A and B are shown apart, each in its own frame.
Chain A
């Protein structure tokens, strides 16, 4: 990176996206005009978690006026190949999924037929008339039951319902435990949740002349989607254009590629008509990926000062009924096992990690992936060490952290932390919330004004901007890692910049413009960002896992740098100066130190595009654009400390978050306003996950709360005012120095809130090792504790 001062990067610049969104002019997938004659789809969903499909009678449905076709799993199998998540990792068992179940259904909500009709209401009505006869089979639902002998098998290819099993151990792990003064053991169980974006999913496939197809989808991964659609439906990739409209929140949920997308494209090909599908909320909750159905069994070997000498973790994740593209069913498993050491200098570590198959909704990537749960475990262990040894929980963390002076540090599983501020972040967060004062005032019984009051910490590292080696390390051989940008100065001097990403609320039109304007040396107002169109944008890995600032920013800096050099070469030639004497600044190409002696971008561009009488320098090519990609290192590690202060009502068990402090370090910040927004939204999701959200299944595999009336999301009354500060430790391993921030909010909030409640209830001898902590649960635990003698 050059030492040029940034003009826009780092500034709180208001968003370009807001005006149209505030006017209700954002065009989300259901707002797109569908061509006349569009077919609308409705899926028939299995009411059973596990059953054999005996027969399917579509006569009544087909008799409805406006119904064009009803297709079964067998019909669709002729059009779309079985979907296989290609993970190459020792211990992984591959299996396929039909886009519509053919013989057997494996979770409630799995599609068994699809109706295509002239209008969405008719499609819905017809779906209800499709009669399916099932032979119900016993289902396996709970993670704890999946691998027990005698359980129903989810897939023949997955014996014992074990999708994946992996192990790791450092040579000195047993010795660390043998010599330890204390061993702390705990079991942490995390309830299953989902991303639940406010906009459900949807897509619209529009055949074009020849074999062309335009596919609009509310996806976070347009390029990966296009490749997958081509691979499985036979639609030539080169004649398939994926367009991403406004997307009403993604959070990873929309980064998976779903069966309905394949069905839409396949039926548009089959009928040569536009095909549209809009999901309803029940389908969203039943069929979009779930996450966090995890169990951690952790033991820490600890010395008398609270130093962790060794850590053993057994990580179990419920993968659900299928492995989903593009991450498969092992993302959470390998993530939890690999990330649990966090900011701590733990050098002896062993894990066993397992993903199991059950008759439940497939698991996938939801914001934070395994980090909220693996920090629930390790941060819960830190608190237990403190309680066992009579130390302060903050002190235990500080003793175990990798000090800044030891960075760069390669952790025990080989992940490099290039820069960071683990100790400083925690200390600053403690100062902001007056941690010492709180502890000094906190009575031994934690009761203040009839409420139990506690404080909880989560210190963590946050994986962001994963490059190809990072995905390979987790067996995801088909996830590229890089992203790309094209920067183009148009003949009029305006700048269009294309990037492989696709936004779902992150403000890319604003932040990427800041990056490009600085890297190119032009006015912010002159830059326009284009994304979410595979016909215009270069290939890339797309937008999930806190990637866009790192990979898109890096790609743009590299591409803009090349264009800037070309501007200089042509400008120098026009100014009859040597290239070394010419700079590009504030939208002009001029002699260094003499802004008056120079040219506008337009003047240089006209030469580049041969629209004037000037000539190009010898050997220079026409045009004024260039592209580049950026593949970051293994991962780009951000870090943060969260501290929550809570009150637990002794009677009704309700938790109020009284204060919430975050100190975050995402390296070089592009736009502080947007960074804070990411953190605030994430913290709210984490509070929801810690206190109320859970996909509840009964023993037969029915999801009991598949509606927003019963799956509770946090409201404005459930969340606090967030107090946020930043430390900037620019990455030295990435182009641009950026680190991601998309997931930190939720990662930190889940453990911080749980630990705060645990602290509040610590004198009652209540063990908080599960989530969500619903009022009913806490009220019962408090009641029981108070009834205990002593």
Chain B
């Protein structure tokens, strides 16, 4: 559809150059052009948070960003969270141990939100956790176990336990 825009951005620590249509959304670029299917789409309106990624270290709804405007940006998705195929990140481990996911559709978004929260506030209060988590909707878990997981992950990260 006519005009294309050239952008260079970093996705999960890899430099990417892309010629994109102006209307190409970040979430579609990640999912359909890079095959990073862990970023999910729940509403395409910025309401659900399933598409949450880190954009220059801050959570962003990838359904609301046009790639054309992201020249030079650093993007991190859920695929770049676990340290290895064998190990999970402490946040992911905490979600597992606290049964903080059921269908798992919202989960990548919650993991990204938790990354941002704990990076800025290593020991958040329950209220601060709940407030941060309003960034994301979950229809399965009722949130209590997610709050527990974030609490446990904060503790694990503070204690430097990677196990």
Q: Are B44 and A281 in contact (CB under 8 A)?
A: yes
Q: Are A246 and B104 in contact (CB under 8 A)?
A: yes
- Contact string against A for B residues 34-54, beta-carbon threshold 8 Å, 1 for contact and 0 otherwise: 001111111111111010000
Interface assignment of A708: CB less than 8 Å from any CB of chain B: yes
Interface assignment of B55: CB less than 8 Å from any CB of chain A: no
Which residues of B sit under 8 angstroms from A22, Cβ to Cβ? 78, 82, 88, 92, 95-96, 101, 104, 107-108, 111
Contact of B37 among A15, A27, A196, A681 (CB under 8 A): A27
Interface assignment of A716: CB less than 8 Å from any CB of chain B: yes
Nearest CB in chain A to that of B78: its residue:
A24
CB < 8 Å A-B pair total: 173
Q: Are B42 and A199 in contact (CB under 8 A)?
A: yes
Which residues of A sit under 8 angstroms from B36, Cβ to Cβ? 24
Q: Are B92 and A708 in contact (CB under 8 A)?
A: no
Interface assignment of B19: CB less than 8 Å from any CB of chain A: no
- Contact string against B for A residues 23-58, beta-carbon threshold 8 Å, 1 for contact and 0 otherwise: 111111011000000000000000000000000000
Q: What is the bound-complex CA distance between A66 and B100, given in angstroms?
A: 43
Name the segment of A500-508, A556-564, A627-635 touching the other chain: A500-508
- Contact string against A for B residues 113-148, beta-carbon threshold 8 Å, 1 for contact and 0 otherwise: 000000000000000011101101111111111110
Residues of A666-685 whose CB lies within 8 A of B: 673-674, 676-677, 679-685
Most chain B CB atoms below 10 A, which of A18, A19, A714: A18
Which residues of B sit under 8 angstroms from A247, Cβ to Cβ? 103
Q: Are B142 and A719 in contact (CB under 8 A)?
A: yes
Interface assignment of B29: CB less than 8 Å from any CB of chain A: no
Given known A677-B145, A719-B143, contact A24–B99 (CB-CB < 8 A): no
Q: Are B137 and A708 in contact (CB under 8 A)?
A: yes
Interface assignment of A787: CB less than 8 Å from any CB of chain B: no
Q: What is the bound-complex CA distance between A23 and B88, given in angstroms?
A: 8
Which residues of B sit under 8 angstroms from A196, Cβ to Cβ? 139
Given known A19-B88, A505-B103, contact A707–B108 (CB-CB < 8 A): no
Cβ distance B162 to chain A, nearest Cβ, rounded Å: 16
Task: Determine the interface band of chain A, counting residues with CB < 8 A from chain B.
Answer: 35 or more
Which residues of B sit under 8 angstroms from A24, Cβ to Cβ? 36-39, 77-79, 108
Q: Are A21 and B42 in contact (CB under 8 A)?
A: no
Q: Are B43 and A14 in contact (CB under 8 A)?
A: no
Cβ distance A198 to chain B, nearest Cβ, rounded Å: 5
Interface assignment of A447: CB less than 8 Å from any CB of chain B: no
Q: What is the bound-complex CA distance between A683 and B134, given in angstroms?
A: 17
Interface assignment of B97: CB less than 8 Å from any CB of chain A: yes
Interface assignment of A59: CB less than 8 Å from any CB of chain B: no
Q: Are B140 and A715 in contact (CB under 8 A)?
A: no
Q: What is the bound-complex CA distance between A199 and B103, given in angstroms?
A: 9
Which residues of B sit under 8 angstroms from A674, Cβ to Cβ? 99
Q: What is the bound-complex CA distance between A721 and B45, given in angstroms?
A: 29
Which residues of A sit under 8 angstroms from B104, Cβ to Cβ? 17-18, 21-22, 26, 246, 248, 505
Q: Are A680 and B96 in contact (CB under 8 A)?
A: no
Nearest CB in chain B to that of A504: its residue:
B103
Given known A25-B38, A504-B103, A507-B102, contact A280–B44 (CB-CB < 8 A): yes
Interface assignment of B66: CB less than 8 Å from any CB of chain A: no
Given known A15-B96, A24-B38, A717-B134, contact A709–B45 (CB-CB < 8 A): yes
Q: Are B40 and A15 in contact (CB under 8 A)?
A: no
Interface assignment of A10: CB less than 8 Å from any CB of chain B: no
Q: What is the bound-complex CA distance between A209 and B95, given in angstroms?
A: 43
Interface assignment of A394: CB less than 8 Å from any CB of chain B: no
Contact of A248 among B105, B129, B145, B147 (CB under 8 A): B105
Q: Are A197 and B107 in contact (CB under 8 A)?
A: no
Cβ distance B59 to chain A, nearest Cβ, rounded Å: 14
Interface assignment of A164: CB less than 8 Å from any CB of chain B: no
Q: What is the bound-complex CA distance between A19 and B26, given in angstroms?
A: 25
Q: Are A198 and B106 in contact (CB under 8 A)?
A: yes
Q: Are A198 and B50 in contact (CB under 8 A)?
A: yes
Nearest CB in chain A to that of B134: its residue:
A715
Nearest CB in chain A to that of B23: its residue:
A121
Interface assignment of A306: CB less than 8 Å from any CB of chain B: no
Cβ distance A203 to chain B, nearest Cβ, rounded Å: 16
Residues of B46-92 whose CB lies within 8 A of A: 46-48, 50, 77-79, 81-82, 88, 92
Cβ distance A169 to chain B, nearest Cβ, rounded Å: 40
Which residues of A sit under 8 angstroms from B142, Cβ to Cβ? 677, 679-685, 719, 722, 745
Cβ distance A673 to chain B, nearest Cβ, rounded Å: 5
Interface assignment of A415: CB less than 8 Å from any CB of chain B: no
Given known A249-B140, A708-B47, A722-B142, contact A716–B103 (CB-CB < 8 A): no
Which residues of B sit under 8 angstroms from A716, Cβ to Cβ? 129-130, 133-134, 136, 143, 146-147
Nearest CB in chain A to that of B141: its residue:
A681
Most chain B CB atoms below 10 A, which of A17, A26, A250, A676: A26
Given known A198-B103, A717-B131, contact A23–B92 (CB-CB < 8 A): yes
Nearest CB in chain A to that of B97: its residue:
A14
Interface assignment of A200: CB less than 8 Å from any CB of chain B: yes
Interface assignment of A766: CB less than 8 Å from any CB of chain B: no
Given known A23-B82, A281-B42, contact A708–B48 (CB-CB < 8 A): yes
Q: What is the bound-complex CA distance between A280 and B28, given in angstroms?
A: 14
Q: Are B40 and A281 in contact (CB under 8 A)?
A: no
Q: Are A707 and B47 in contact (CB under 8 A)?
A: yes
Nearest CB in chain A to that of B103: its residue:
A505
Q: Are A197 and B103 in contact (CB under 8 A)?
A: yes
Q: Are A18 and B95 in contact (CB under 8 A)?
A: yes
Nearest CB in chain A to that of B127: its residue:
A717
Nearest CB in chain B to that of A246: its residue:
B104
Contact of B40 among A19, A199, A684 (CB under 8 A): A199
Cβ distance B136 to chain A, nearest Cβ, rounded Å: 8
Most chain A CB atoms below 10 A, which of B46, B77, B145: B145
Interface assignment of A349: CB less than 8 Å from any CB of chain B: no
Contact of B99 among A15, A26, A249 (CB under 8 A): A15
Interface assignment of A251: CB less than 8 Å from any CB of chain B: yes
Given known A682-B142, A683-B142, A707-B47, contact A21–B37 (CB-CB < 8 A): no
Given known A198-B106, A709-B45, contact A677–B133 (CB-CB < 8 A): no
Nearest CB in chain A to that of B77: its residue:
A24
Nearest CB in chain B to that of A720: its residue:
B144
Cβ distance A689 to chain B, nearest Cβ, rounded Å: 12
Interface assignment of A785: CB less than 8 Å from any CB of chain B: no
Interface assignment of A727: CB less than 8 Å from any CB of chain B: no
Q: A23-B81, A31-B37, A198-B106 are in contact. List 20 more A-B contacts (CB 8 A).
A: A15-B96, A18-B104, A19-B96, A23-B78, A196-B139, A198-B103, A198-B138, A199-B50, A246-B105, A248-B103, A249-B105, A249-B140, A251-B139, A280-B44, A281-B44, A677-B142, A680-B144, A684-B143, A685-B139, A685-B142
Can you sample 25 A-B contacts with CB below 8 Å?
A19-B88, A22-B107, A22-B111, A23-B78, A27-B37, A28-B105, A196-B139, A198-B103, A198-B105, A198-B138, A198-B140, A200-B42, A248-B103, A249-B102, A506-B102, A674-B99, A677-B102, A681-B141, A683-B142, A707-B43, A708-B137, A715-B134, A715-B143, A716-B136, A719-B143
Residue numbers of B with Cβ under 8 A of A are: 31, 36-48, 50, 77-79, 81-82, 88, 92, 95-97, 99, 101-108, 111, 129-131, 133-134, 136-147
